[in-house]
Amino acid sequence: MFKLIWLNSFLNFLFCFLYLFHLANVCITYTGIFCSAIQKSLFVQYYEKFVIEFLANTLKTSSNTINVFVSLNRLNKSYSKILE
């Protein structure tokens, strides 16, 4: 179970690390006064599509799935203690 918790922590760390660079593509206001100069760069657009929208969402889904497995494992252990 501790390996699952460690893996979940690692996936959450990667998710947060990827989202740190996601801020390069975010405008603060609707008028675009405070938009980043590199926002319209092709690399930033590819990063947004492939890394953030695909890889980060895959990491988050994996993390949530591992959370379910950890919860089921804990439930199984507590249920087996009740039956003893």
What tens-digit pLDDT sequence spans the chain (84 residues)?
788 899 999 999 999 998 888 777 777 777 767 777 777 788 888 888 898 889 999 999 999 999 999 999 988 877 677 766
Cβ 24 vs Cβ 39: under 8 Å: yes
Cβ 8 vs Cβ 62: under 8 Å: no
Q: What is the pLDDT of residue 83?
A: 66
Q: What is the pLDDT of residue 32?
A: 66
Helix (H) or strand (E) holding 73: helix 57-83
Residue boundaries of the structural domains of the chain: 2-83
